[in-house]
Structure 1
Amino acid sequence: MTDAGDADLRLVDMTLRDGMHAVDHQFTPDQMRDVARALNDAEMDVIEMSHGDGMGGSSINYGFAAASTGEYLDAVAPEVTESDLSVLMLPGIGTVEHIELAASKGADICRIATHVTEADISEEHFEYVVDHGMEAAGLLMLSHMAPPETVLEQAKLMEEYGAEAVYVMDSAGAMLPNDVEERVSLLSEELSIDVGFHAHNNLGLAIGNTLTALDAGAVTIDGCLRGLGAGSGNAQMEVLVGTLKKAGYDVNPDFFGVMDAAEDTLLPMLTEDTMPELDNDSLILGYAGVYSSFLRHTRRASERYGVDPREVLIELGEMEVVGGQEDLITDVASRLAEERGGDGAATAEGDD
Structure 2
Amino acid sequence: MTAIKPVLLDCTLRDGGNQNDWQFSQADVRAIVSTLDAARVDVIEVGYRGGSGSRKSGTAGPSAHCTPEYLAGLPPVRHAELAVMVVPTACPIEAMADLPDSPVGMIRIAAYPWDVAAVPAYVEAVRALGLRVTVNLMAVSYAELDELVTVAKTVRAELPDVCYVADSFGALHPDAVRDRVELLTAELDCPIGVHMHNNLGLAAANALAAVDAGAGWLDVSLCGMARGAGNLATEQAAAFLTAWPRYATDIDLRGVCEAAEHVAEHVLPRPMVTRRAEIAAGINDHHYYYQHRIEAACARTGLDPWEAGRRLGGARPRRVLDDVVERVCLELQNTNEGQHQ
TM range (shorter): 0.7 to 0.9
Deviation digits for residues 175-231 of structure 1, max 9, x if unmatched?
011101111012223321101111000010000000000010000111111111111
2:34 maps to amino acid = R
Q: 2:258 aligns with which of 257, 260, 267?
A: 260
2:329 maps to amino acid = L
1:131 maps to amino acid = A
2:188 maps to amino acid = L
Matched, 1:75 2:68: no
Give the SS at the match of 2:9.
strand
Aligned to 1:344: none
Aligned to 1:336: 329
Aligned to 2:310: 314
Matched, 1:66 2:61: yes
Aligned to 2:49: 55
Q: Distance in 1 between matches of 2:286 and 2:45?
A: 23
Q: Distance in 1 between matches of 2:202 and 2:193?
A: 16
Contact 2:311–2:328, Cα closer than 8 Å, also in 1: no
Give the SS at the match of 1:196.
strand
Q: Measured at CA, do residues 66 and 302 of structure 1 come closer, stay the same or move farther in structure 2, by a change above 3 Å?
A: farther
**Shift of residue 150, structure 1, vs aligned partner:** 2.2
Deviation digits for residues 154-177 of structure 1, max 9, x if unmatched?
123223213111112111111011
Matched, 1:278 2:271: no
**Shift of residue 276, structure 1, vs aligned partner:** 1.8
**Shift of residue 98, structure 1, vs aligned partner:** 3.1
Of 295-304 and 127-136, deviating more is 295-304
Where in structure 2 are the equivalents of 1:185-334 lying within 5 Å?
185-248=182-245, 249-263=247-261, 265-271=262-268, 273-295=269-291, 310=306, 312-322=308-318, 325-326=319-320, 328-329=321-322, 331-333=324-326
Give the SS at the match of 2:263.
helix
Deviation digits for residues 270-292 of structure 1, max 9, x if unmatched?
35x54321111110111111123
Listed as ranges, the gaps of 5+ residues in structure 1 are: 342-352
Contact 1:25–1:66, Cα closer than 8 Å, also in 2: yes
1:41 maps to amino acid = A
Give the SS at the match of 2:153.
helix
Of 286-295 and 205-214, deviating more is 286-295
Structural RMSD (CA): 2.7
Q: Measured at CA, do residues 232 and 334 of structure 1 come closer, stay the same or move farther in structure 2, by a change above 3 Å?
A: same
Identity, % of aligned pairs?
30
Q: Distance in 1 between matches of 2:181 and 2:331?
A: 43
Q: Distance in 2 between matches of 1:312 and 1:101?
A: 45
Aligned to 2:339: none
Q: Distance in 1 between matches of 2:200 and 2:154?
A: 30
Give the SS at the match of 1:97.
helix
**Shift of residue 308, structure 1, vs aligned partner:** 6.4
Deviation digits for residues 79-116 of structure 1, max 9, x if unmatched?
33320001111111112233223332121111111112
Q: Which 4+ residue blocks in structure 1 deviate beyond 6 angstroms?
A: 299-308, 337-341
Q: Distance in 2 between matches of 1:34 and 1:303?
A: 43
Q: 1:14 aligns with which of 3, 7, 11?
A: 11
**Shift of residue 44, structure 1, vs aligned partner:** 0.6
**Shift of residue 24, structure 1, vs aligned partner:** 2.4
Contact 2:137–2:166, Cα closer than 8 Å, also in 1: yes
Contact 2:109–2:123, Cα closer than 8 Å, also in 1: yes
Listed as ranges, the gaps of 5+ residues in structure 2 are: 335-341
Aligned to 1:151: 148
Give the SS at the match of 2:12.
strand
Q: Distance in 2 between matches of 1:320 and 1:192?
A: 30
* TM-score, length basis structure 2: 0.87
Q: Measured at CA, do residues 247 and 152 of structure 1 come closer, stay the same or move farther in structure 2, by a change above 3 Å?
A: farther
Aligned residues between the structures: 329
2:312 maps to amino acid = L
